[in-house]
Amino acid sequence: MAVGLPAAGAFGTLKALGPRPVGVRLGYDTPMGQRSRTESVAAVMAAFFTHRKWTQAELARAVDLRPAALRAVLQDLCANGIPLESQKDHPHVYWRMPRDWYPGGVLFRADLVPELFRHLSRLPSGKARDRLLAVVMEQLPARGKLTATAPIVSRRSSETEEEYLPIIEDAAARKVPVWMKYLTASRGGKLGERHASVHLVDVGPPARFVATCHRNHDLRWFRVDSVLRARLDGSEKFRACAPEELAAYRAASLDGFKGEGAPQTCSFFVREPESAWVSNNLLDGMRAETLHGGIRVSIETSAILRLARFVVALGEAARPETTALARTVAELARGALDQAEALLRDDREPGPSPAEPLASAVQPRSGS
């Protein structure tokens, strides 16, 4: 037993078949029984992919063939390995094709179906995943049984990811530049247009990609949720990137960020017991070394600011061990401390009594 997923392009030269209205044929213009053998076979196969069970009389009308010609086609298909089943129930003859059979499709054995569902359920929930699940459920044989599945909660993909991530992936696969309107958060949310040659897609979360920016002529990280519009643009020349250059760029990055300059070796110490949590939540590229009383975390990166934000979040449990990291940590911590102390000072200052309006309050004019 197998579950089949239809392959793109199977019988792609045929017109798509919709619902089967009573008395409506498939639209062939040639006289009944006069088309070529190839056309007849294609029409019968297309009919079975639309509806898996037919009476012989209904199928003959649908594909516009005489009964004798249809029987010959059906017998030829059976003789050549197409798993058609026939059953006589006077006055009708029923023909059926198994729902789990597709030519040129992807087949899954019954014992692999639970694993397929398991992995599909882990994907970010959204329209694309729901379509895949629906196709698999529809093609399950009636006798197929699924084992109980766990109540899995997956991250929900945003509408932006659903719409533009496939375009970004196609751009990378086909090596065609993508034109996009992009919102640059690091520049105060500035919106701009640009072309980019996509080299790598990181599904995240968050979903992002590395591309050569045609405007700035360098490699950059882009977030999919900051794309406002996108389309492939074959009129622009794709700008290739050597594999070693891309690997070096990724190695110098941290959590989707790349700073200026060459990578620097940075480290920080995390005391116990917080070290146990940190060792299980390191960012990609971080290495932990067990020491007395904690761990030392090391990394080579140019994204010092992103690293410093990680360290600052650990508070007094973490101690920077390299100068560049310590300087950035101090700046971030000082700024956060100033903001927090300003709020606390405001809370300590006595405010106006609720019964006493502010002197500077605007009083409504008479008659308004």
- The enclosing domain of 201 has a CATH number of 2.30.30
Separation between Cα atoms, residue 297 and residue 289, nearest integer Å: 6
Do 209 and 104 belong to one domain?
no
For the entire predicted model, the pTM comes to: 0.59
> What phi and psi values does residue 111 have, to the nearest 5 degrees?
-75, -15
The residue ranges of DSSP E strands in the chain, in sequence order, are 2-5, 53-55, 85-89, 92-96, 106-109, 178-184, 190-202, 208-213, 218-223, 227-232, 264-271, 287-291, 294-301, 318-320
pLDDT number for residue 18: 41
Return left, alpha or beta for 56; rule: phi > 0 is left, psi -120 to 50 is alpha, else beta.
Answer: alpha
| Domain termination residue (choose one: 200, 230, 252) | 252
Separation between Cα atoms, residue 364 and residue 70, nearest integer Å: 88
Tokens representing 111? 């014992």
334, 314 Cβ separation under 8 angstroms: no
Do 104 and 163 belong to one domain?
no
Query: Look-up: residue for tokens 């530049």?
Result: 177
The answer to whether residue 368 is domain-embedded is no
The answer to whether residue 362 is domain-embedded is no
User: How many domains does the structure of the chain reveal?
Assistant: 3
Do 216 and 287 belong to one domain?
no
Do 247 and 332 belong to one domain?
no
Which residue, 190, 248, 254, 186, is CA-closest to 219?
248
Render each residue's pLDDT in the chain as its tens digit; 368 residues.
444 444 444 443 333 344 444 443 443 344 444 557 778 888 888 888 778 889 888 998 888 888 888 888 888 888 888 888 888 888 888 988 887 676 666 666 667 777 777 788 778 888 888 888 877 776 665 544 555 566 777 778 888 888 899 999 999 999 999 999 998 876 667 888 999 999 999 988 889 999 999 999 999 999 999 999 999 999 999 999 999 999 999 999 999 899 888 899 999 999 999 999 999 999 989 999 999 999 999 999 999 999 999 999 999 999 999 999 999 999 999 999 999 999 988 877 665 555 555 444 444 433 43
pLDDT number for residue 364: 40
pLDDT number for residue 32: 45
Do 269 and 241 belong to one domain?
no
Do 245 and 340 belong to one domain?
no
Domain holding 180, by residue range, is 159-252
Do 132 and 10 belong to one domain?
yes
Instruction: Please return the burial class of 208, using the count of CB atoms within 10 Å of its CB with bins 0-12, 13-18 and 19+.
Output: buried
CATH of the domain at 289: 3.30.70
CATH of the domain at 12: 1.10.10.10
The answer to whether residue 127 is domain-embedded is yes
